[in-house]
């Protein structure tokens, strides 16, 4: 049965390892957000969401500190610059939650909502968090597209949609149809991927250009 709770409780205890890590981080940095990071929605709410971006998990000094996905560490720089370029946001990204940036037709979430040690969630944690992704997905009645950032996010999204990963394999700039939704996959916009040249600005933009064209074509 679908779990209709879209965001875990701030004191979620489902994953013992992640709970311990968050409690340790709360003790060290009591002013940080230090909890499962909720999905970020546009001001017009769930009904206006046409594209959902699924990241991996909050970064320790990024979303885990600020409480907003991809905000406060390097991973957001390329993502938010690209969203602006393809008119999925208004305002300027300032890497803090009071930068005034808003999303347009887009929402951003993570496959795993709590910061994992060394940025690596284990399989059980990815599975434990999937009901929240499932509830999130089913709350967007006008959703057209999902952008998955990295293989973990991609595979968890495909499983959330009750499909087999072998039928919808991950690949950069690959698009697959699942029911009424198109899933666009991309390498994750992490510093590691951009520094090593695995993901360039051009490659990342190509994904969002396709999503923009698709959403615009559906609106006609």
Residues that bind ligand URA (CB under 6 A): 55-59, 62-63, 69-70, 75, 110
Least distance in Å: CB of 73 to ligand URA? 6
- β-strand partners of 146: 52, 183
**Radius of gyration over every alpha carbon of the chain, rounded to an integer in angstroms:** 16
Q: How far is the CB of 55 from ligand URA (least distance, A)?
A: 3
CB of 76 to ligand URA, least distance (A): 7
Q: How far is the CB of 11 from ligand URA (least distance, A)?
A: 19
Q: Closest CB to ligand URA among 18 and 180?
A: 18
Among positive and negative, which fits the CA dihedral 207, 215, 138, 19?
Answer: positive
By CB atoms closer than 10 A (0-12, 13-18, 19+), residue 54 is buried
Query: Is the sign of the CA dihedral 209, 214, 219, 220 positive or negative?
Result: positive
Q: Which is nearer to ligand URA, 116 or 131 (CB)?
A: 116
Closest distance of CB 75 from ligand URA, Å:
4
User: Which CA distances in Å does 160 have to 16, 97, 133?
Assistant: 22, 29, 7
Find the shortest distance in angstroms from Cβ 216 to ligand URA: 26
Nearer to ligand URA, 79 or 179 (CB): 79
Residues 25, 35 contacting (CB under 8 angstroms): no
Are the CB atoms for 149 and 55 separated by under 8 Å?
yes
Choice between 176 and 186, CB closer to ligand URA: 186
Q: Can you name the residues that pair with 182 across neighbouring β-strands?
A: 145, 177
Name the residue whose CB lies closest to ligand URA. 55
- For residues 58 and 50, what is the distance between their CA atoms, to the nearest angstrom? 23
């Amino acid at each position: 049965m679908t779990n209709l709770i879209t965001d875990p409780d701030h004191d979620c205890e489902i994953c013992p390892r992640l709970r311990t890590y968050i409690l340790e981080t709360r003790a060290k940095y009591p002013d940080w957000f230090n909890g499962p990071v909720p999905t970020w929605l546009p001001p017009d709410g769930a009904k206006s969401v046409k594209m959902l971006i699924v990241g991996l998990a909050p970064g320790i000094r990024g979303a885990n500190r600020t409480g907003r996905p991809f905000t406060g560490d390097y991973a957001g720089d390329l993502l938010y610059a690209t969203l602006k370029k393809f008119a999925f946001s208004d305002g300027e990204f300032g890497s803090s939650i009071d930068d005034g940036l808003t999303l347009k037709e887009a929402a951003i979430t993570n496959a795993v909502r709590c910061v994992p040690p060394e940025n690596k969630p284990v399989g059980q944690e990815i599975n434990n968090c999937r009901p929240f992704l499932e509830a999130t997905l089913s709350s967007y009645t006008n959703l057209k597209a999902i952008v998955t950032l990295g293989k973990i996010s991609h595979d968890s999204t495909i499983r959330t949609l009750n499909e087999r990963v072998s039928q919808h394999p991950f690949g950069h700039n690959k698009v697959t149809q699942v029911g009424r939704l198109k899933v666009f996959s991309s390498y994750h916009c992490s510093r590691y991927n951009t520094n090593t040249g695995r993901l360039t600005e051009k490659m990342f933009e190509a994904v969002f250009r396709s999503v923009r064209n698709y959403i615009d074509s559906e609106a006609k």
